[in-house]
Every structure is written in structure tokens, then in C-alpha cells.
């Protein structure tokens, strides 16, 4: 009896009826934790020989992210052969029929059955627009009140409040699925300098010198949530933000203007950084995960050389390489760019 009551409570959390009432179409959201169980069939008491679940639509086993690492767990073939499967849909879709095919023993004879366990309508936030405006790469020459002139190269010029890339996006939450929205940016930082003396240096993570995807966020931000537009960076935006069902959120204040210094000991500096900027959603439900809504990609490149008359830009560009659009790609990264420093390469 206790097992029966526990099972009914689990069904209620997904608004599923018992098998003798027949499965009804249930509305859920991407990122919502879904559990399907063979116990929700009339074959639960039989001796089961073989199981295979059919779950239509893109789904994953889990996604976990901190400010140091992000891990996506894909569903393996073996997961679909278990009595119970836990998963998360990551794209919308209507009338998805979750079925289980079983081979079972009855009266000493093996028999087969294909059971409709549930029908789901999967909802996702709507991407209303996802725009970007870019400027040019410039040489920076900043005169200090005291001390030497500071030199650098930058995508945009924050000394004049000119942003390298500025975002303007808007998403609308599904009517019945209040949830959290945030942004997140990853970077493959590739910067190399040639000193006037000594070895060539690259800006790398000392613990992993090979180029790799990194989270573009300070470890000093308040809280623990990985997000690009964290509190106090781009007022009035402060992600994550909770958005009511059917309501929209717009961010037209977030920007990025990456730069690197040109030091007195340098004679050449090269930059070739690439970025992925994501919008993510997590329904306000126990066990839910962050899932991607949209993604844009951009980069900036520059080569600066020191000549007899000072620093010159030999090549420079900054642009969006993939316009903002709906995606099911998760942000995955192996470290935080905050750890990077100049090391011999």
C-alpha cells in the first residue's frame, strides 16, 4: 500500500493518471524533470524479460554547470532498457507518445506488448528577436595623469563608451510554465605575444595549456550561478531572473568589449578569440535543469606590431559569425577564463 501511495504521488507531480484511466495528453516544459516507469502499466507485476522505451524528441539525461565546469549527460542506449527512465526534453513538440515495448513471461510463455505510457505536449520559451550591433577593433592609447601612456587593442572603445558588441534580445515564457531566464557566454581565448626578449607567450589556463572552451565570467561575482549578465554588471538586468508564465523579458543593455594590453616589453601581439553567447531557461519546478533557448557566435581578431613610430594594427576585425537563433546546443566548458595568464608556449 505504501508503494502504491508513493507511486500515485509521483504521477500527480506530472499530472499523469493511473494506467486504468488511460494516458491523457500532459503539457510540460523543456528542462522539466520527467520520469517514466514500467510500474505505470498493467504489466508491472509480470516477470519482465526485455524492455525498450521509445521517447520521441531531443532529450538529455542531465546538465550540471558551475563557474568552473559544465557537464552534459546524454542518454545512453542502456538507459532505454531500464524499468524507469529520467530525462529532460530540450526542444518543443506536440503529441509526443512515450511508449515501452516489453517481453514478459505469463504462464511460462514469453509474450510481447507495446504500451502507450503517456502523451506529452512540450512547451518552450519563444524567441521574439535576437540582434547584435558591432563596432570596430581599435588601438587604445590611454594617457594617465601620472605614469606612462597605456597601450592596448580592443573590440570597441570603452573609454568613449563604444561597445564592441551590444545585444538586444527578447523571449516570452510559455503561459503555464513560469521559469528562470539567464544568459551565459563561453570563450575560446587565443592570444599570443612576442616579447622583445625571451620566449613567445600565450594567454592560457596554467592547469590546461591547450586551447579549450571556457566560461566567460568572473569568479568574484556574487552567488554561484554561472551567468554573463550577473548582478551589478549591466543594470537594470541581473540574471537569473524569474519570469511569470506568458510574460516576456528583454535584454538590450548587455555588451562586451574585450581588450588586451600592449606592454612595453612586447613587439607583437595577436588575438583570435571566439565566443558563444547563450540564452537559457529553467522552469520553476523541482529537479528542473537549465536548457538552451538560443545562441549567437562572434569573434574578434587583431595583430598589432611595434614599429619605429609606435604600435600599428596590421589586421583587425570583429563580427557576428552565427546570428542569434533557436538552439539545442548546451554551453559546455572545462574551466573559467579568469584563471588565464601569460605563459611560455
Residue labelled with grid coordinates 520559451: 125
Least confident span in 67-71, 250-254, 307-311, 318-322: 307-311
Question: With bands split at pLDDT 50, 70 and 90, how would you rate the model's confidence at 73?
Answer: very high
Alpha-carbon distance 187 to 331, whole Å?
10
281 vs 314, residue with greater confidence: 281
Range 195-217 average pLDDT: 94
Question: Taking CA 246 as the corner, what is the angle to CA 243 and CA 250, rounded to the nearest 5 degrees?
Answer: 55
User: Given a cut of 70, is residue 3 above it in pLDDT?
Assistant: no
**pLDDT for 114-132, tens place per residue?**
999 999 999 999 999 999 9
Q: What percent of the chain has pLDDT over 70?
A: 91
The model's pLDDT over 282-310, given as tens digits with 9 standing for 90+, comes to 999 999 999 999 999 999 999 999 998 89
The 10s digit of each residue's pLDDT in 25-39 is 999 999 999 999 999
pLDDT over threshold 60, residue 11: no
> What is the reported pLDDT for 147?
57
pLDDT digits (tens, 9 = 90+) for 165-191: 999 999 999 999 999 999 999 999 999
pTM: 0.90
Give dist(CA 184, CA 276) in Å, integer.
Answer: 8
Phi, psi angle pair for 330, to nearest 5°: -85, 145
How many angstroms separate the first and last alpha carbons of the chain?
66
Could you tell me the pLDDT band of residue 16, with boundaries at 50, 70 and 90? very low
Check residue 141 and give its pLDDT: 81
DSSP 43: T
Question: What is the predicted pLDDT for the residue at 5?
Answer: 42
Tell me what pLDDT residue 149 has.
63
Q: Which pLDDT belongs to residue 148?
A: 63
Question: Is the Cβ–Cβ distance between 286 and 10 less than 8 Å?
Answer: no
pLDDT digits (tens, 9 = 90+) for 150-162: 789 999 998 889 9
pLDDT of residue 198: 79
pLDDT of residue 10 exceeding 70: no
Average pLDDT of every residue of the chain: 91
Q: Which domains does the chain have, with CATH numbers?
A: 2-123 (2.60.40.10), 126-344 (no CATH)
Contact 229, 251 (CB under 8 A): yes
pLDDT for the residue 14: 45
Amino acid at each position: 500500500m505504501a508503494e502504491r501511495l508513493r507511486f500515485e504521488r509521483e504521477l500527480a507531480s506530472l499530472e499523469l493518471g493511473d494506467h486504468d484511466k488511460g494516458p491523457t495528453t500532459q503539457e510540460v516544459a523543456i528542462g522539466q524533470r520527467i520520469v517514466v516507469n514500467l510500474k505505470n502499466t498493467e504489466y508491472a507485476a509480470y516477470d519482465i524479460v526485455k524492455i525498450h522505451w521509445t521517447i520521441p524528441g531531443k532529450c538529455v539525461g542531465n546538465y550540471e554547470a558551475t563557474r568552473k565546469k559544465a557537464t552534459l549527460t546524454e542518454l545512453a542506449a542502456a538507459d532505454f532498457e531500464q524499468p524507469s527512465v529520467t530525462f529532460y526534453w530540450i526542444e518543443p513538440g506536440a503529441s509526443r507518445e512515450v511508449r515501452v515495448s516489453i517481453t514478459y513471461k505469463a504462464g511460462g510463455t514469453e509474450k510481447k506488448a507495446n504500451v502507450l505510457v503517456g502523451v506529452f505536449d512540450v512547451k518552450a520559451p519563444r524567441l521574439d528577436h535576437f540582434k547584435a550591433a558591432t563596432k570596430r577593433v581599435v588601438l587604445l592609447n590611454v594617457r594617465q595623469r601620472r605614469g606612462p601612456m597605456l597601450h592596448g587593442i580592443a573590440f570597441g572603445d570603452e573609454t568613449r563608451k563604444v561597445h564592441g558588441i551590444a545585444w538586444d534580445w527578447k523571449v516570452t515564457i510559455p503561459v503555464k510554465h513560469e521559469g528562470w531566464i539567464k544568459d551565459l557566454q563561453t570563450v575560446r581565448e587565443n592570444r599570443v605575444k612576442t616579447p622583445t626578449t625571451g620566449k613567445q607567450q600565450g594567454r592560457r589556463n596554467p592547469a590546461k595549456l591547450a586551447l579549450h572552451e571556457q566560461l566567460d565570467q568572473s569568479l568574484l561575482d556574487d552567488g554561484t550561478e554561472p551567468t554573463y549578465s550577473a548582478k551589478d554588471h549591466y543594470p537594470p538586468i541581473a540574471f537569473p531572473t524569474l519570469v511569470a508564465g506568458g510574460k516576456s523579458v528583454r535584454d538590450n543593455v548587455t555588451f562586451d568589449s574585450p581588450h588586451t594590453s600592449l606592454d612595453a616589453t612586447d613587439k607583437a601581439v595577436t588575438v583570435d578569440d571566439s565566443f558563444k553567447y547563450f540564452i537559457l531557461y529553467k522552469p520553476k519546478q523541482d529537479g528542473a535543469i537549465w536548457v538552451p533557448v538560443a545562441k549567437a557566435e562572434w569573434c574578434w581578431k587583431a595583430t598589432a606590431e611595434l614599429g619605429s613610430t609606435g604600435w600599428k594594427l596590421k589586421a583587425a576585425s570583429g563580427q557576428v559569425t552565427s546570428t542569434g537563433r533557436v538552439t539545442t546546443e548546451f554551453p559546455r566548458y572545462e574551466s573559467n577564463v579568469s584563471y588565464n595568464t601569460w605563459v611560455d608556449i
